[in-house]
Amino acid sequence: MKKNSKEEPDKKPSSWYSVLDDAKEQRREFKEPGVENQNKSKSLEARSVISNNIRINSMNNTMEWLEGTLLRRRSETRVYKYNTRLLEAITDGDTAYMNRMLAMGANVNATCRLNQVSACHIAATINNDALSLLINAGAISMRSDKFGRTPLHLAAWAGHVRHIASLLDFPEALQDKVTSKMTPEVLQEIRTSRLTVPEMINRPCELNTLSTVPDAWSDGMEHNCRSIKESLPLFQPGWTALHAASARAQYKCVQLLLAAGADPMKTDLLSRTPIDVVGYDHYSKHKIDPADFRETVRMLREAGGKFQNSTASKVNTPLHTAVDLDSVDAVEEVLDAGATATLWNSHGLTAMHDCVKNRNKDILQLIANYEFGNEDPQVAVVDERDRWGYTVLSAAIKAGWTQGVCVALGAGASVTMKNNKGESPLHLAASYGNLDILQEVLIVSKFNSSLDFLNDQGETALFVAIRHNQIDVVRMLLSAGARIQEETVDRVNVLHVAAEHGHYEILEHLLEYDDHITNEMINEPDVISYTPLVHAVVNDHPKCVELLISKGANVHVEVHISETNTTTPLHLAARKNHFEICETIINNDLDTIHAVNSSGLMPLHEACYHGSRNVITLLLHRGADLSGHTGKTKLLPIDVLMNNLSKPTQFIEEIFDTCISSQGRNIQESNCKVKVDYRVLVPDESDWKQMRVIKGLVNTGNRHDQSRLLLHPLVQSFLYLKWKSLLPFFYTILAMHTCFVLALNVYVVSVFFYKDKKREVPGYFLPSIWEYILYVTIFLIAIQEIIFIKIKKRRYLLFLETWLKIWAVTLALVLPQTVNWKINNGEDWARLIATISLLLSWFEMMFLLSRFPDWGFYVLMFGKVANKVFKILLSFGFLLFGFAICFMIQFRAKVPFEGPWASFVKTMAMMTSEYDYQTTINKTDAAKVSASIIILRIIFLTFLILVSIVLMNLIAGVAVNNVNHLEMIGTIKRLEKQVEFITSLEDIVCHKLMKKVLPKKLYQKLSMNQKLKNVIYLMPRESTCSYCKYLPPRIREAIFETAQRQQMEMDEELGSMAFKMKLDQIHNIIVGSEEDESRRADLSESAVAKINEEIDKIRSEVSFIRNFLVTNRRRTISSNKSSFL
C-alpha cells in the first residue's frame, strides 16, 4: 500500500485549483499601491465574502477526494491480498484454491514485486495443472522477469514437457501426445506446425529488461518474496530455453524444443551453444543421469549443434562433465560430437587432468588415444597442460597414479615438457619417489637420451631426488646411467646439495659411488666458495660433516663470507653454536682451534661474539685460550665473552665447576680420585707464562661481579700452587728488602741513638760500616726495580707499593749525605729523612708480608677498614675542626690549645677518651682561661656526646658492619694482589733478559720449577695424595665439595635419562603392537592391488610401444610431405 501511494501521488479536483488561483489574483489586486487607501471599506467586505466561498468549496472538494482515495485503496489492498494468496497457492500446488482466488478478484498475471516473477514463472517449475489454468484464464505466458527468464526457460529447466507444449500454444490433443510418448509421428506433427509456434522459443535471457508492472498485478507486503527468489535458478545471460534444458540434460525437453524449431547453434554471451552447456547443472549439485546426458548430446549433434571450443572462457565443458559422471559412453559421445580435450574447466584442468584426479583409467585411455582430426600431429594430445603447466603425465606422477602414468606414456607423452615451475615429468618422478612410476619414466628417458635433462634451475633429476631425500631414486638414477659430475650454473654439484640438506645416506652413497670422481668433487667450491663440508657446517648436519671429513674433506678451507673477508668451517660452526660439528672438526684436527680468519679472530672469538655457550665450553676444554690474541686484533676472548654473554660470571663459574670432577665415583670411596683440570686456565702446557688467563680475567674489571671468580676452588688452588712454585723468587726479593730494612735501621740507630745517649758506638755498630752495607742493599733493590720497570713498563708505576719502595730507597740513599752536612739545622733534616725512610721501608715490609696467602688477608682488611675510617673522618672533619677552634678560643690559646693545629691534634686525641678532664677543666685552672666554666662544660659535654660517643660508634659500626662481606672482599683483594705479584714474578723469570744473565742450566731449572701441570689428582686420603700436602685444608675441602656437587648433578641427569628411556620403551611396546596388527591387514590388501597394477603396467607398456610406432610413422609421413612441398 505504501509503495503504491509513493508511485501514484494523490490527485485533487481541478475546481479546487481554480478557486485557489482566483483567491491569489484577488490578493494581488488588494495590495496594489494607491488603491489600498481608496474604497477601503468596500475592499474589506469583498475579501471576506470571497474567503468564505473559497473555504466552503475547498472543504467540500477535499472530502470528496478523501472518500474516493480511501475506497480505491481498500479495493487495491484487497487485490494485493488475493494476488499474494494466488502466488502462495501456486507454490503449494493447490489448483482449487487458485480458482477460488481468481474468482474473488485475484489477477491472473499476479507478480512478485521483488524480481517481477509472475504466476506463470512459478507454475512453470511445478509439475501440476497450475500453468494450464493460468494460461486458460488469460495470463501472459511469455513475460520476462528481472533476470530475463521466461516461463519457457523455467519449464525447460524443470523438464516439464507438458508445460513447454502449453507455453508454445500447442493444441490440446498435441499436448496430450507429447505428454504420453514422444514418437516420431508426434515429432513430425510438431515440425509441420512450426508456423503457429511463436518466435519466443529462441528468446534469450537478457538482463535489465524491466518493465512497469500494473498495480493490479502486484502482491502484498506480507508475501515471502525471498523464498521464491531462492527457489528459481539463475541462467547465464543469452541462454535460450534449449540451453536451460541442455544444462540439466532434460533430453525430452530438448527433443521437443528442437522439433518445435529451437536453434541448436544459438549462442550465449560466452559464445556457447546448447551442446556446450549440456550437463552444466552438474556443478550446481544437480544429479544428472549419464544416459540422459549421452542422449542429450546425441540429439543436439544430430540437430546440427556444434561445440564452439572457445579457449577464452574457463568454464566446465560437457567433456569435463562426462568425465565427472564416470561414463565412458558419454565421453565417447561427446568426443564424437567434436569436443576438444584441450579446454580448461573453472579449476584450470583439462578433461584428461580430471581423469587423473578421479583416477579413471578407461576414460583417460579413451581420450588420450582418440583420433582428433584437428590436432597437431607433432604434439600428442596427452601433452596438453593445465593451469599450472602440468601435463597429464606430470599430473599422474604428482598424484602417484601408476596406471595413469602408463596410459600417458603409452599415448606418447613427453618426459621433457616443463610445468610453470620449470620441472619436467622426470624431475617430478624423482622428487616424489614412487619407484614404479620412476621406472616407467626412465624407460622412455633412456630411449630418448633425456636422463640428464635440465629443469629451469639447471638441475638434473638426480639433483631433485637428492634434495627430496629419495635414496632409492638416487640409486635407480645412478644405475640407469645418470651423470654424477653434473653441475648447475652456480657450480653446485650433487655433493653440495646432499650436504646442504643433510641427507646422510644419499651423501654416503654418492661418496662411495666412484672414489676417483668423488675425490675430485669433495673439495670443489661453488660460486660462493662453499665446499660440501661448508654447506654441511652452515646447515648443522654433524653426521654429514663427519662423513665428509672421513672421506678427505679439507677442514682448513678458506670460506669467503664477503669480498674481502675469509673464514674457516670451525669459525662458522662456532658462530652458529653447532656443538657436534665443532667437536667433529676438533677431533679431526686440534690445530683448527687456533686458526685465524682474515679479521684476526679465532673460533673462540666468534663463539663469544655470538653467545655460543656450548661451543665456548667445548673450545675451552679442548685447549682454546681465553687470553689469546693475534697481530690483527688485541681483543681478548675473555673481554668479548664478558661483553656479549648474559650472566657471564655465572657461565664461567659453571665452566670452572666442570673442571673439577670425581670421575663418576663418590667422594666417600677410598679409591676416589678428584680430577682438577687447569687447561681452561693454562691452555698450552708448554707455555711458560701460565697466568695470562687469570690476569686477563682480572683486567676485565668488576662490572659483572667477575672478581668473585677468584674465590672459585679451581682458581684458588691454581694460584696457591703457582705461588708455591715461585716461592724461591719471592724469598729472594723478601731477603733483599729485609737486608735493606735491617741495614737502614742499624745505621739510623748507630747515628742517632748513641749520639742522643752520649754513649760510645760499639765496633759492630760503626756508621761507616753500615753505610756501605746500606749502599749495597740499595744497589741490589735498584737492580730489582729496574728489572721490574723494564719488564712491566708503565703498569708498574701505577701501584702505590712501587712509589713507597722508590721513596724509601731514595731517602735511604741521601740519608748518609745529610748526616754529614755541617750546616745549620742539618741534624734536623737528617732526622726527618731518617724518620720518613724508616716508616716507608716498614710499610713496604708489611706489603711484602701480605703476599703470603695466610697473612695478606689481614693486611688488606686493615686497608679496607682504614679506607672507610678515612672516608668518615673526611665527612665529619668540619665538626672536629669546629670543636678544635672552640676549645682554642675558650682556653685563650693556652697549652694544649695554643694554636689551630695543636688544638685540632688535641681534639683528635680527645676522641680516644684522652680528655685530661681533671687538669684542664677544673674551677681553679678554668677560671684563669675562661670567663664562664658553665659554657666551657657545655661545649665539652656536646663534644663528648657528638664525637666521643656518636661519631666513634659510627666509625666502629660502619667500618666492620658486615664481617663476612668484609672478609670476602679482603680475600678477593688479596687474590687480586697475588695475581698481580705472581704475574710480575712470572714475567721476570720468563723474560729473555733473565735467560741471558743466568746460566743455561740454572735458568732451565728455575723455569721448569715454576711451571704447573695442566691436570692434577687429589684423593680424600691425605697419606696417598702428594698434592694434598701442598694445598691448605680450606682449598682441598672446597675442591671436594665441588666435585661432590658435580657428581650429584650428573647422577640426577642420568636418572632422568633412564626414566625417559623406560617411558619410551613402554610407549614403543604399546604402539608397536597396534602397528603390527594394522600392517598385517594392509599387507593382504596391498598384495592384491599390486598384482592388479603389475598386470595393468604390462598392458600399458604394450600399448605404449604400439602408439610409439604409430606416432613415429605419422611424424615421418608429415616430414616427408613438408620436404616434398
- Predicted local distance difference test score (pLDDT) of residue 43: 46
Average pLDDT over residues 775-797: 79
What's the mean pLDDT in 732-757? Answer: 84
pLDDT above 50 (res 1064): yes
Measured CA to CA, the distance from residue 574 to residue 611 in angstroms comes to 9
Contact present, 430 and 465 (Cβ < 8 Å): yes
Contact between 342 and 382 under an 8 Å Cβ cutoff? The reply is: no
- How does pLDDT run across 384-416, given as a tens digit for each residue? 899 999 999 999 999 999 999 999 998 889 999
Distance set, CA 504 to CA 548, 553, 579, 944 (Å): 10, 15, 18, 88
Type of residue found at 41 = S
Tell me if 752 sits within 8 A of 834, measured CB to CB.
yes
Q: Which residues, other chains included, contact 51 with Cβ-Cβ below 8 Å and sequence gap of 6+?
A: 23
Domain ranges of the chain: 14-75, 267-376, 726-849, 868-961
Give the model's pLDDT for residue 729: 79
- The reported pLDDT for the residue numbered 1122 is 43
**Residue 934 CB neighbour total at 10 angstroms:** 10
Residue 318: its pLDDT value, please?
Answer: 93
pLDDT(201) > 70: yes
> What number is the average pLDDT over the span 908-930?
62
- Say if residue 859's pLDDT is above 90: no
Q: Tell me: the pLDDT tens digits for 424-483?
A: 999 999 999 999 999 999 999 888 888 899 999 999 999 999 999 999 999 999 999 999
Show the cell assigned to 1042. Answer: 665441588
**Through-space distance between the first and last CA atoms of the chain, rounded to whole angstroms:** 81
Query: Is residue 671 within 8 Å of 1022, Cβ to Cβ?
Result: no
Answer for the pair 568, 595: CB distance below 8 angstroms, yes or no. Answer: yes
What torsion do the CA atoms of 506, 508, 514, 517 make, to the nearest 10 degrees? Answer: 90
111 backbone dihedrals φ, ψ, rounded to 5°: -130, 135
| pLDDT, tens digit (0-9, with 9 covering 90-100), for 995-1026 | 666 666 666 666 655 667 788 888 776 655 66
Q: Higher confidence at residue 754 or residue 1078?
A: 754
22-31: average pLDDT: 41
**What is the reported pLDDT for 522?**
93
Asked whether the predicted pLDDT for residue 32 surpasses 50, the reply is no
* Model confidence at 100: pLDDT above 80: yes
Cα 1088 → chain centroid? 47
Per-residue pLDDT, averaged over 198-224, amounts to 77
More confident residue, 279 or 1075: 279
Helix H or strand E encompassing 566:
strand 566-567
560, 523 contact by CB (below 8 A): no
**Is the pLDDT confidence value at 634 over 80?**
no
Better-predicted residue by pLDDT, 863 or 624: 624
Read off the C-alpha cell for 352: 584428461
Quote the CA–CA distance of 389 and 260 in Å, as a whole number. 45
The span from the CA of 574 to the CA of 586, in Å, is: 11
1064 or 834, which is more confident?
834
Residue 278 has pLDDT above 90, yes or no: yes
Angle at which helices 1033-1124 and 402-410 cross, to 10°: 30
Whole-number pLDDT of residue 1022: 61
* Residues 568-609: tens digit of each pLDDT: 999 999 999 999 999 999 999 999 999 999 888 999 999 999
Write the CA distances from 716 to 129, 628, 708, 972, integer angstroms: 111, 22, 11, 10
pLDDT over 90, % of the chain: 28
Q: Quick check: 418 pLDDT over 60?
A: yes
Question: What single DSSP character describes residue 218?
Answer: B
Query: pLDDT tier at 924 (50, 70, 90 boundaries)?
Result: low
pLDDT given for residue 24 in this prediction: 42
Q: Is the pLDDT of residue 1112 over 70?
A: no
CA–CA separation, 293 vs 251, rounded Å? 8
CB 483 within 8 A of CB 460: yes
What fold is seen in the domain 267-376?
Answer: 1.25.40
Q: In 10 A of CB 223, how many CB atoms? A: 21
At residue 863, does pLDDT exceed 50?
yes
Element holding 571 (H helix, E strand): helix 569-575
Asked if 449 and 415 touch (Cβ cutoff 8 Å), the reply is no
DSSP reduced 3-state for 559: strand
The pLDDT assigned to 1100 comes to 67
Q: What is the pLDDT of residue 1002?
A: 61
3-state secondary structure of 567: strand
Rounded to an integer, what distance in angstroms lies between the CA atom of residue 620 and that of residue 682? 10
Angle between helices 767-792 and 727-748 (to 10 degrees): 140
**How does 15-36 read in b/e, with b if 16+ C-beta sit within 10 Å?**
ebeebeeebeeeeeeeeeeeee
Question: 689-721: per-residue pLDDT in tens?
Answer: 778 888 888 888 888 888 889 889 998 888 888
Is the pLDDT reported for residue 274 higher than 80? Answer: yes
Cell 550446481 found at: 284
- Determine the average pLDDT of the residues in 642-663: 89
Is residue 167 within 8 A of residue 155, CB to CB? The reply is yes
Q: What is the mean pLDDT of residues 165-180?
A: 86
Instruction: Decide: 612 and 577 in contact? Cβ < 8 Å.
Output: yes
Distance CA 245, CA 155 (A): 8
pLDDT above 70 as % of the chain: 78
> Helix %, strand %, coil % for the chain, to 5?
65, 0, 35
User: What's the rounded Cα separation, in Å, for the pair 422 and 388?
Assistant: 11
Q: Residue 1092, class by beta-carbon neighbours within 10 Å (0-12 exposed, 13-18 middle, 19+ buried)?
A: exposed
pLDDT at 915: 63
User: Which pLDDT tens digit goes with each residue over 973-991?
Assistant: 778 777 877 887 777 776 6
On average, the pLDDT of the chain sits at 80
Cβ atoms 364, 407 nearer than 8 A? yes
pLDDT band at 29 (very low <50, low <70, confident <90, very high): very low
Q: How far apart are CA 1063 and CA 455, in angstroms?
A: 48
pLDDT digits 0-9 by tens, 315-346: 889 999 999 999 999 999 999 998 988 889 88
